[in-house]
Structure 1
Amino acid sequence: MARMNGSMTPDEPESLSAGVVNRLEEEILKGIRRPGDKLDERQLAEQFGMSRTPVREALQRLAASGLVVSRGRQGLQVAQMSLADLLDAFGVVAELEAFASSQAARRIQPEQRALLQAAHRSCAEAAAAEDAEAFYAANLVFHELIAAASHNRILQDELRRLTLKISPYRRTITYQPGRMYSSIPEHERVMDAILRGDGVQAAQMMRSHVTLLGEGLSDLLHFLRSSGGHGLLAEMP
C-alpha cells in the first residue's frame, strides 16, 4: 500500500482493518480463538504489527456482526452463545446448507465436482487416522465447497456469518466419540445426491447431517463438561 511522506493513505486504514477482521475470523473459525477469549486492542496491534487504529476499527466491525461482544470492565471478548441461541443457529444453518446443497446439485461445475470428491476423501482419511484437527479442517472445506457450488453469493455470505458463530461448537463436536466416523457416510450421501443432480435428496441429507443437536443434545452437554468445553456456552443448565 502506497504511503505519502510516511503517512497513511486514505484507503489504507480500511484495508488494514479489513485484514484484521479476516485474520480474526480465520482464527475463530480454526479454533485458535474461542468464545470467551479476551481481545486486547494493544496486544492485537503488537501481534499484527500495526497501529491500534485499524485494530480498533476491526473490533468495532466484528462487534457489529455479533462475533465480538463487550463485557464492560472485562473488555471485548469473542462472543459466547447461549444454549438456546446455539440450537436456533444450528437450525438456521441446517436450512441454509440444505438450500445450498439443493442449488449445488443444479449448478455445480466439473472442477468443483472433483474438489468436492477430494475433500470427502480427506475427511475419510482423517477419520481413519483419528486426526480430529485434520478432519475439522477437511470438513470445513467440504461444506465451503458445497456453498461455493451453489453459486449464490447472498447465501454464501449468510452461511459464512453464521458458520463463524457456530464453528467453535462444531469443532468441539468433532471430538465427540464416534462423530468423525458417523460424518463420513452422511457426507457421502450428500455428495452423491449433489453429483447426480438430485436437489431434493441433497437438501434432505444435508439438513439431517447438520442438525446434530437434536436427540444427541444430552450427550453433547456431557461432552462439553468432560472436555472442558463448558466455557464455550454463555449458559449451561
Structure 2
Amino acid sequence: MTSDTLELQDVEKRRQADQAYDAIETLIATLQLRPGAPVVESELIARIGLGRTPTREALMRLVASGLIAQQPRRGLLVSDIPLAEHLDLLEARRPLERLIACCSARRASPAQRSALLACAARMAEAAERHDLEAYMRVDQALDRVNHAACRNRYAVAAVLPMIIQCRRFWYAYRHLGDVASGARAHQRLAETIASGDGVAAAEASDALMAHLRNFTLQVIA
C-alpha cells in the first residue's frame, strides 16, 4: 500500500469523524438527545448511518467539549444545560470571538469573504421564514467559514465547546429569542470581516456577544 493511499484513507477517516461529530452535535443541540439522556453507541451508529470508529471518535470529542458526560457505572450521558454558568461562558467566549473576527478580517480569502456574506444572507432569509432549523444550520456554516478564515487553530479549538453550548442553550429557550435581531448581528459581523476592517469586525463581534448576553439575561430573569 502506497503512502498516497494511506494518506487518502486518513483523510476519509477524518472526514467521517467530522460528519459523525456534526450529526451527533446537531442531535444534542436541537434536543433530540435531551439533557440526562443515556448515549448508546449502537443506537447512534444506526441513527447517523456512520461506522463505529468515526462515531466513537466523535463521542470522545463531545466528552472533551462538555456536551457529553462520562459517569462511573452510568456510562455516557448528555450533559445538563448549565443555566447558572452561562453568563460566565459568554464572558470567556467574548475575547476569543473578537480575536477570531480580527484575524478573519485580515486573513480571509476572497472566496471565504463571499461565503460569509452568503451565509449571513441565508440566515436572514431563514429568520424571515421563522425556519429555526435552517437558521441553526446556516449559523453553523458561517462559523465554519469564519474559523477557517481566521487561521488561528488555537483560538478555534478554545471557542468551539463554548459555541456548541451556546447553540444548545439558544435552542432550548428559542421561544424567548429574536432571530431577526440575531440574523442582523451575524450579517454585520460577516460584512465587516468581508470588508477587511479588523476594528469594525471586532466591534461587530462584541455586538453579537452582547445580543447573546441580553438573550441569556432574558432567560434567567
Deviates more, 1:183-192 or 1:42-51: 42-51
The one-letter amino acid of 1:180's match is V
- Tell me which residue corresponds to 1:203: 202
Cα gap change, 1:170 to 1:93, in 2 (>3 Å) = farther
Checking the alignment, whether the CA contact within 8 Å between 1:87 and 1:213 is kept in structure 2 is: no
**Structure number, greater radius of gyration:** 1
| Aligned residues of 2:124 and 2:184 also touching (Cα < 8 A) | no
Name which of structure 1's ranges 185-194 and 208-217 shifts more when overlaid on structure 2.
208-217
1:100 positional shift: 0.8
Q: What residue is the counterpart of 2:138 in the other structure?
A: 138
Cα distance between partner residues in 2 of 1:212 and 1:60: 31
Partner of 2:79: 79
Q: Is the 8 A contact 2:105 2:195 kept in 1?
A: yes
Identity of aligned residues (%): 29
Provide the rounded CA distance (Å) in 1 between the counterparts of 2:152 and 2:51. 35
2:196 aligned counterpart, secondary structure? coil
Q: Which runs of 5+ in 2 are unaligned?
A: 1-8
Structure 1 unmatched runs, 5+: 1-10, 223-237
**Contact kept in structure 2, 1:35 and 1:78, CA below 8 Å:** yes
Q: Distance in 1 between matches of 2:22 and 2:188?
A: 32
Q: Kindly tell me: are residues 136 and 18 of structure 1, through their superposed partners in 2, closer, same or farther at Cα, counting changes over 3 Å? A: closer
Aligned position for 2:3? none
State the alpha-carbon separation in 2 of the partners of residues 149 and 106 from structure 1. 9
State how far apart, in whole Å, the 2-side matches of 1:54 and 1:142 are: 24
CA contact (8 A) 1:132 1:175 kept: no
- What's the CA shift for 1:174? 4.3
Q: Indicate whether 1:107 and 2:107 are aligned.
A: yes
Please report the TM-score for the alignment, with normalisation by the length of structure 2. Answer: 0.75
Deviations 1:197-232 (A, max 9, x none): 22122112112212345444342247xxxxxxxxxx
Contact 1:104 1:150 in 2 (8 A): yes
Q: 1:150/1:122 Cα in 2 relative to 1: closer, same or farther (>3 Å)? A: same
Shift of 1:59: 4.4
TM-score (norm 1): 0.71
Please, which moves more after superposition, 31-40 or 16-25? 16-25
CA RMSD of aligned residues (A): 3.2
Looking at secondary structure, tell me which structure has more helix per residue.
Answer: 2
Q: What CA distance in whole angstroms lies between the structure 1 residues aligned with 2:79 and 2:28?
A: 10
- Aligned amino acid, residue 136 of structure 1: M
- The residue number in structure 2 matching 1:27 is 27
CA contact (8 A) 1:28 1:167 kept: no
1:171-186 maps to which residues of 2 (within 5 A)? 171-177=171-177, 179-186=178-185
Aligned residue number for residue 159 of structure 1? 159
- In structure 2, C-alpha distance between the alignment counterparts of 1:23 and 1:170, rounded to whole Å: 18
- Tell which deviates more after alignment, 65-74 or 91-100: 65-74
Equivalent pair of 2:90/2:213 in contact (CA under 8 Å): no
Q: How many residues are aligned here? A: 208
The one-letter amino acid paired with 1:113 is R
Question: 1:209 corresponds to which letter in structure 2?
Answer: L
* C-alpha contact 2:122 2:138 (8 A) present in aligned 1: yes
Which residue matches 1:188?
187
Matched AA of 1:220: V
Task: Decide whether aligned partners of structure 1 residues 54 and 183 sit closer, same or farther in structure 2, where only a CA change above 3 A counts.
Answer: closer
Deviation at 1:168, TM superposition (A): 0.8
| Inter-partner Cα distance in structure 2 for 1:184 and 1:58 | 29
153 and 69 in structure 1: CA distance in 2 versus 1, 3 angstrom threshold: same
2:210 partner amino acid: T
- The alpha-carbon deviation at position 75 of structure 1 amounts to 3.6
Which whole-Å CA distance do the structure 2 matches of 1:130 and 1:22 have between them?
Answer: 23
